Amino acid sequence: MFKKPIILALGCSFTNADFKSHLTNIPEEERGGWPMWPELLQRKIEKETGKSYELINLAKSGASNDVIFKKFIHSLSKYDNRIKIVLVGGTQWMRSHVVITDINYNPQVKTGTSNYEKTYEKALGQTWEAFSNKVGVKNIIYHNLRIMWTLLNICNDKKIKFIWNQLLCPLPSAEFQKRILKRQGVTDSHVDDQAFTDQFFSETILKSPYAKLIIKHKKRFYGLPWSPKKPWDWGSHMDRAEKIVYPKSNLDNPGPQDIDVHPNKLGQEDIAEKMWKEYGNYLVKN
């Protein structure tokens, strides 16, 4: 039986086909349910090539790049040569994955409900309290570069078309990191402001052993210092997020319950158009 070639999509909530906004003060149809950027690209690819693809979107809200890597390897072992295109929606680099519980943790948000989740969050906060400096940030940068380097190598070896679209800003600013630590109930006294600058981020990447291959294939990456544009969540897209989807949140001092910066229907279309403009020829050529 003929099986369609596969487009594999990976990422977090910005790519998750099942995403629903946390806002409850807006109509249900405005909280989600629209086609996400991988599906929109699939349509364009099929229209251009006349070929039919199966889209497997394994993106999950809150997923770390560890989870993206895990799902990529699992999919490769399952589908092997049927995978022809891999689309990654890069997430925040500080997120982590605990293997034993298969749970994702985001230091920027307190999400734990069970005792072991709360215990891990506390330990994570204490770790960041001590390592919110150049050592800790370098370790985070290297860890995520290893994931990128490995995915790129595998896709190159297997002749899989690969795009890493860094949709979310990889690391917070120093001021935001201090707010994160305070929310976690620890001090911000060890935060090294220089470790959270764009300059340190870029210099650390260039000094890494992974830079040579990644820079050589820099066109496979979008939204990073060595590639075109900036992450989608840096604010230039606000007309395609809450200002359209969430008009009832137009408050003088909106809080988290009033704002959602996830891309809405127009935002997803915007992401897909940018990807198509940058990578359309690459995605459709033999």
Q: Over the stretch 210-243, which tens digit does the pLDDT of each residue have?
A: 999 999 999 999 999 888 788 887 655 555 554 4
The per-residue pLDDT for 246 is: 41
For 147-165, what is each residue's pLDDT tens digit? 999 999 999 999 999 999 9
E strands, the chain, are 6-11, 54-57, 83-90, 96-98, 103-105, 161-166, 221-222
- Asked whether the predicted pLDDT for residue 258 surpasses 60, the reply is no
Q: What's the mean pLDDT in 178-190?
A: 85
DSSP notation for 140-203: HHHHHHHHHHHHHHHHHHTT-EEEEEE-S-SS--HHHHHHHHHHTTS--TT--GGGGSHHHHHH
Structural domains of the chain sorted by starting position, each given as residue range(s) with its CATH number in brackets: 6-284 (3.40.50.1110)
Q: Quick one: what percent of the chain has pLDDT higher than 70?
A: 89
The pLDDT value recorded for residue 241 is 55
Q: How distant is the alpha carbon of residue 270 from its chain centre?
A: 16
Q: Are 184 and 168 in contact (CB under 8 A)?
A: no
Per-residue model confidence (pLDDT) at position 39: 98
State how far Cα 49 lies from the chain centre.
Answer: 28
Return the pLDDT at 240.
58
Residue 257: per-residue pLDDT: 53
Q: Mean pLDDT, to the nearest integer, of 1-13?
A: 91
Beta bridge partners of 86: 8, 162
Q: What's residue 250's pLDDT?
A: 46
